Amino acid sequence: MESISVGLLGLGTVGTGVVKVIENHQDKLMHQIGCPVQIKKALVKDLHKLRDVDIDTTILTLEADDVLLDPEIDVVVEVMGSIEETKEHLVKAIRNKKHVVTANKDLMAVHGPELLHLASENECDLFYEASVAGGIPILRGLADGLASDRITKMMGIVNGTTNFILTKMTKEGRSFDDVLAEAQAHGFAEADPSADVGGLDAARKMAILSTLGYSMNIDLDDVKLKGITEVTENDIRYAEQLGYVMKLIGYAHREGNCVEVSVEPTLLEESHPLASVNDEYNAVYVYGEAVGETMFYGPGAGSLPTATAVVSDLVGVMKNMRLGVNGRSAVSPQFNKQLKKNDEIFSKYFLRLHVEDEVGVLSSITSVFSRNGASFEKVLQHPLPEEKKAEIVLVTHHTSLASFEKIQMELRDIDGVQFVKSTYRVEGGAS
């Protein structure tokens, strides 16, 4: 094999990073696979746009088929984003016996199993390491490094935008809106940040992680979702008083063959490994029956970190080409999907209430918890500026989600309770 030809779909932030890594690490790639790697064609939207990379403009094209149908191109690297149009491109590439590397989490969360099956049928590789947590090799860690173990729990900070926002809110006492504006100014948040702050971006990544880690097809709709838009400075301040740190956590837990998958603002014990992951960094904490606790940590986005993951997948494809084993790495799901019901999901919970500051209110609240088999681990009470009003903050012991939801409904019927201000899951500490 004299050389390996690559076609690029997209030449934006990640695409230019891929070009740089391939050019600057050509000696490493030669050592790994025994031949040079060349980018033969790159699909772009604008042939004349100034780019942060020195690239031969004759390889640029506005036509996807120049990449997808070129018989000399061995591997298609997709870094253009979007879902349906991109899926059509990748289907065409695979049917034309081209291997695919993608960084597209949205696509893989929605159509991943279908595309992997098609790739296997056509004896093609489809690798997607860069779709989750940027430069962190979490998917390869699950598929290869922990292949012999049985994963029981995965918890992760898998969205850098929300972690940046919550870090700033915690350390500087600022509001969500204020920090979001700064994040947008620094390029950490999109002009439309809804997918990030609403938790959708993290949910897509958790669907991919859960599908791979638990060997069952977890759909995006299976992920219970709550974003950070309602998190306030007071929530974070009370969390700190109780010894917790607020993070947007992707959580996946398997017991037997039943799983739960969620993305939600979560209070972590200050000693938890994820509590010290700050700013735009990502981390995924994995628990296996044999290996115990492991954590993958690093930059979750950015041109070169994400490009490094893309090119690492490219190396994997090229090694398979030399061995003649392309399309054999995909493993069909081992288990049928079984999702936990709410009465099978257990956690501790944070609850913040505004109440009338009068005799008997706390007793009534305690009775509601007691009737539903729940008890308090921690309690704070503070007077509010309004006359005879108070704020009560509770952390429960472990209780079921079904019980906690019933408790919230019953609390709204107590005369002395004005409203439930906020609720969050709590991880870590005593049961």
Phi-psi region at 115: left, alpha or beta (left = phi > 0; alpha = psi -120 to 50): alpha
What is the distance between the alpha carbons of residues 251 and 140, in angstroms, rounded to a whole number?
19
Burial label, 169 (beta-carbon count in 10 A; 0-12, 13-18, 19+): buried
The C-alpha angle 202, 203, 208, rounded to 5 degrees, equals: 100
Q: Among 41, 105, 205, 406, which one carries the catalytic annotation?
A: 205
Task: Give which of 139, 83, 65 is closest to 316, Cα–Cα.
Answer: 139
Query: 158: which 2 tokens?
Result: 């898998």
Per-residue CA distances from 362 to 47, 56, 81, 371 (Å):
68, 72, 52, 14
47 alpha carbon, distance to own chain's centre: 33
What is the distance between the alpha carbons of residues 389 and 404, in angstroms, rounded to a whole number?
24
What is the distance between the alpha carbons of residues 31 and 26, in angstroms, rounded to a whole number?
9
205 contacts 133 by C-beta, under 8 angstroms: yes
**Active-site annotation holds for 389:** no
35 contacts 1 by C-beta, under 8 angstroms: yes
Strand-strand pairing, 258-269 and 417-427? parallel
Those residues whose C-beta lies under 8 Å from the C-beta of residue 408, and which sit 6 or more positions away, are 351, 420, 423
What is the distance between the alpha carbons of residues 126 and 326, in angstroms, rounded to a whole number?
9
Q: What is the secondary structure of 237-255 as a DSSP string?
A: HHHHHTTEEEEEEEEEEEE
DSSP structural state of residue 341 = P
Residue type, 27: D
Residue type, 48: H
Judged by DSSP in three states, 3 sits in coil
Catalytic residues, which ones? Answer: 205
